[in-house]
């Protein structure tokens, strides 16, 4: 069962609302945004700011987000900070979260960049929310029992508990969900750098965020954004210098087509960089398995250790699946030796993998840092350096033969 967004009600016209969890727990509150029913997986984010970037991140597709920040809406909504390139005509970006759970809805938006309120935007896009909930209790519950199916019901949709609970339990689980195709572009498009073009890359859109092409174009990279079902032939026809795999929603165990494409790219020797979902795809291509985490990593304050240097970066993350760590730090693949490059300081989970020859690497977090922090932005510089090195090889014809090989 897919999420159903509700009808609209004027701001201030509050209705009773209920957050119903799969295990039978029900939290009562009041409606804001649209009224009606929405279904999804209940998850929480620890970011104290950046709710617009969170709500428009395609990786949150089919998820009901519980905010640990006690007050939401205080900075309003603007037309610049949306992270969905598929904005459906909305200047502030399409909202991908299935619903929003908060403690306190700010009475006013107070920011010089604000153009309307959060509730105005939720009304315009039909997004159901619930306020006046003890979000601390909800988060502690999810941390203990794990992310689970949930639903927000408001207005006339609030019926007897048994009926609402049955509706929640009847929806499809996140495990096994193939969602990247639902958030990807249908047609290819190009994002041009403002200055000289140093390189061009093919970016497979599995749920790409607005700031990702921006980070690449700022470094002189022309970005060809491709649909999630693109083939190696689609990539080769562009004669690009590298391939990038984006973030995205759903279970990476279902992304066989993207894994197959990644294997083909590696066989071509094309420089490769992936983030978040793209990290899981590269890991699968290199022979690792994935698993569903208990409650995942979602926020903008998650510490990651780079194993080679011991450097810790505070990162932006949004994922509920992870790569299963290999038995040894390095292992052999058809493309050479691979290694785990980064781990989470909180729980030791895999946060990055790479081929040791440097031709392909990925991280589990979001180095484009929307809505922050910026500790990992240098990964885009590393990718450009990899493109520089590969382009240098073109002088002796090796890159040309690489692009033309089968």
Which pLDDT belongs to residue 6?
Answer: 56
User: Which parts of 255-289 are beta strand (E)?
Assistant: 272-275
Residue 207's region, left for phi above 0, alpha for psi from -120 to 50, else beta, is: left
Q: List Cβ neighbours of 163 (8 Å cut-off, separation of 6 or more).
A: none
* Confidence (pTM): 0.91
Given a contact cutoff of 8 angstroms between Cβ atoms, the answer to whether 126 and 8 are in contact is yes
310 carries a ligand binding annotation: no
Q: Which of 22, 41, 121, 368 is catalytic?
A: 368
Nearest to 40 by CA among 66, 58, 10, 61: 61
329 an active-site residue? Answer: no
| Residue 329 token pair | 């730090």
Q: Which of 5, 27, 61, 276 is catalytic?
A: 276
Dihedral of the alpha carbons of 223, 227, 232, 236, in degrees to the nearest 10: -30
What is the rounded distance in angstroms from the CA atom of residue 54 to the CA atom of residue 188? 25
320 carries a ligand binding annotation: yes
Q: List Cβ neighbours of 254 (8 Å cut-off, separation of 6 or more).
A: 176, 177, 178
Domain boundaries, the chain: 16-169, 180-404
Architecture of domain 180-404: 3-Layer(aba) Sandwich (3.40)
Which pLDDT belongs to residue 401?
Answer: 35
Given a contact cutoff of 8 angstroms between Cβ atoms, the answer to whether 339 and 354 are in contact is yes
How far is CA 257 from its chain centroid?
A: 19
Looking at domain 16-169, its CATH class is alpha beta
Which pLDDT belongs to residue 373?
Answer: 79
248 carries a ligand binding annotation: yes
* pLDDT by 10-residue block (mean), the chain, 406 residues: 50 84 98 98 95 96 97 95 71 90 95 95 97 98 97 98 98 97 96 94 96 95 98 98 97 98 98 98 98 96 96 95 94 98 97 98 91 86 96 50 36
Residue 346's region, left for phi above 0, alpha for psi from -120 to 50, else beta, is: alpha
Residue 337: C-alpha distances to residues 342, 356, 366 (Å): 16, 6, 25
272 carries a ligand binding annotation: no
What is the rounded distance in angstroms from the CA atom of residue 143 to the CA atom of residue 123? 30
Given a contact cutoff of 8 angstroms between Cβ atoms, the answer to whether 135 and 19 are in contact is no
199 an active-site residue? Answer: no
368 an active-site residue? Answer: yes
Q: List Cβ neighbours of 23 (8 Å cut-off, separation of 6 or more).
A: 145, 148
What is the rounded distance in angstroms from the CA atom of residue 115 to the CA atom of residue 135? 27
Q: List Cβ neighbours of 11 (8 Å cut-off, separation of 6 or more).
A: 32, 117, 119, 120, 123
In the 8-state DSSP scheme, what is residue 335? T
- Orientation of helix 277-285 relative to helix 256-268, angle to 10°: 70
244 carries a ligand binding annotation: no
Which pLDDT belongs to residue 242?
Answer: 98
Q: Which of 141, 224, 297, 366 is catalytic?
A: 366
317 carries a ligand binding annotation: no
318 carries a ligand binding annotation: yes
What is the rounded distance in angstroms from the CA atom of residue 356 to the CA atom of residue 131? 49
Which pLDDT belongs to residue 269?
Answer: 97
- In sequence order, the β-bridge partners of residue 226 are 204
């Amino acid at each position: 069962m897919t999420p159903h967004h509700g009808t609209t009600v004027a701001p201030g016209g509050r209705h009773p609302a209920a957050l119903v969890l799969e295990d039978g727990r029900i939290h009562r509150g009041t409606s804001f945004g649209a009224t009606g029913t929405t279904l999804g997986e209940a998850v929480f984010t620890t970011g104290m700011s950046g709710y617009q970037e969170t709500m428009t991140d395609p990786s949150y597709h089919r998820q009901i987000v519980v905010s640990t920040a006690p007050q939401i809406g205080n900075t309003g909504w603007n037309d610049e900070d949306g992270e969905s390139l598929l904005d459906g005509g909305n200047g502030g970006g399409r909202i991908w979260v299935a619903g929003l759970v908060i403690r306190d809805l700010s009475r006013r938006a107070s920011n010089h960049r604000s153009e309307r309120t959060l509730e105005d935007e939720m009304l315009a896009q039909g997004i159901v929310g619930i306020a006046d909930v003890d979000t601390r209790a909800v988060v502690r519950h999810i941390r203990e029992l794990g992310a689970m199916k949930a639903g927000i019901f408001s207005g006339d949709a609030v019926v007897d508990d048994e009926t609402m609970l049955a509706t929640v339990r009847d929806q499809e689980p996140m495990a096994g969900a193939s969602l990247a195709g639902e958030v990807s572009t249908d047609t290819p498009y190009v994002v041009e750098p403002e200055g000289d073009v140093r390189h061009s890359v093919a970016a497979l859109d599995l749920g790409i965020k607005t700031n990702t092409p921006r980070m690449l174009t700022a470094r002189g990279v022309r970005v060809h954004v491709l649909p999630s079902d693109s083939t190696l032939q689609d990539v080769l026809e562009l004669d690009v210098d590298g391939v990038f795999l984006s973030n995205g929603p759903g279970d990476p165990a279902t992304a066989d087509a993207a894994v197959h494409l990644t294997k083909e790219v590696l066989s071509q020797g094309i420089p490769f960089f992936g983030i978040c979902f793209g990290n899981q795809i590269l890991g699968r291509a290199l022979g690792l398995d994935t698993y569903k985490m208990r409650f995942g990593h979602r926020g903008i304050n998650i510490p990651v250790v780079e194993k080679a240097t011991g450097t810790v970066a505070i990162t932006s993350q949004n994922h509920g699946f992870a790569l299963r760590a290999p038995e040894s730090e390095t292992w052999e693949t058809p493309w050479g030796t691979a290694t785990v490059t980064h781990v989470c300081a909180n729980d030791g989970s895999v946060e990055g993998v790479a081929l040791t020859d440097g031709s392909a690497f990925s991280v589990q977090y979001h180095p484009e840092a929307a809505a922050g922090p910026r500790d990992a932005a240098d990964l885009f510089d590393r990718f450009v350096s990899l493109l520089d090195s590969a382009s240098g090889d073109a002088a002796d014809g090796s890159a040309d033969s690489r692009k033309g090989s089968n």
